[in-house]
Amino acid sequence: MRRSRCVLMSVLLMIADGLIVKGPSGPLVAPLGSSVVLSCSVDELLSVKDLEVEWRRTDSETLVHLYQDGESRTAAQQQDYQDRAHFFTDQIQHGNFSLRLDDLRAEDEGQYKCKVYIQQESGETVVQIKVNAERLLVSGSDQHISSSVGEDVTLSCSVDSHIPPGDFEEVSWKKTDEDIQVLLYQNNEAHSSNERYRDRVKLFPAEIHKGNFSLRLKSIRTEDKGVYMCKVFAGGLSANATVELERLAPGSIIKAAALLNQPHALHNAEA
């Protein structure tokens, strides 16, 4: 009597549990631009017949990856994930349905559900991604640069985060007090369309891969006086640093002060 009740209970438990799908034990924390493996597996895979694995974001229901009828259905997944989500087809036979997400972006932060269907059974696990709180940090020059009209000056701007070179979407140098686009770096090329600056500005090509977008401004003129902002867009984030050129009279000294994104910095520099 006792034994049969026990058997009955375990049968009920098995039905209630369905397929047991395992995921990672905690949130995955990874830096911007890196790759993470979102794990999802079953202990024992008896058959791959009618196997379907669906990876979705839980917030938007966006389809990240779909494996159905023996193949990855790339046309069904959201476009942004087609190049960035890698499903290990060769691991399926081991009951491993993990997904690698490359080139991690700020907006990838969130929860991902791996839902596995095998014949009549199904089960799921949820994986959480946290993009490392390390923000995109851009810093300018924190020392004063002295130069005279007619000379050349370097306005510093460098990205402190570990971002792969290919991940810089755009870097813009603007003179903010006059709203002039001084230089724009896009698709690995720097352009300057403003007449005043066109032939006088350049980046340092050998430095770009280090995240150094410092600007060389040649043959300084009096009207160059003002505030310059370097704004960097990468991995879905943006950040800026500001440099001020001041006291620009013929033969005088130019002081370039970095404002380092601090609200009081401008004030201090003026003091």
Ligand X SMILES: *[C@@H]1O[C@H](CO)[C@@H](O)[C@H](O)[C@H]1NC(C)=O
**Closer to ligand X by Cβ: residue 2 or 264:** 264
Binding of residue 89 to ligand X (CB under 6 A): no
CB 201 within 8 A of CB 217: yes
List the interface residues with ligand X, window 149-188 (CB under 6 A): 154, 156, 158
List the interface residues with ligand X, window 92-111 (CB under 6 A): 96, 98
Answer for which of 212, 226, 255, 260 binds ligand X (CB under 6 A) is 212
Residues 6+ apart with CB under 8 A from 113: 54, 55, 56, 57, 58, 124, 125, 126, 127
**DSSP annotation of 10:** H
Give the number of other Cβ atoms within 10 Å of residue 93's Cβ.
Answer: 9
CB 92 within 8 A of CB 70: no
Nearest to 51 by CA among 117, 122, 98: 117
Shortest reach from residue 90's CB to ligand X, in Å? 8
Shortest reach from residue 156's CB to ligand X, in Å? 6
Which range binds ligand X by CB under 6 A, 37-45, 108-116, 122-130, 249-257? 37-45
Shortest reach from residue 256's CB to ligand X, in Å? 12
- Strand pairing class (121-131; 28-30): parallel
* Residues of this chain that bind ligand X (CB under 6 A): 37, 39, 41, 88, 91, 96, 98, 154, 156, 158, 204, 207, 212, 214, 231, 239-240, 261
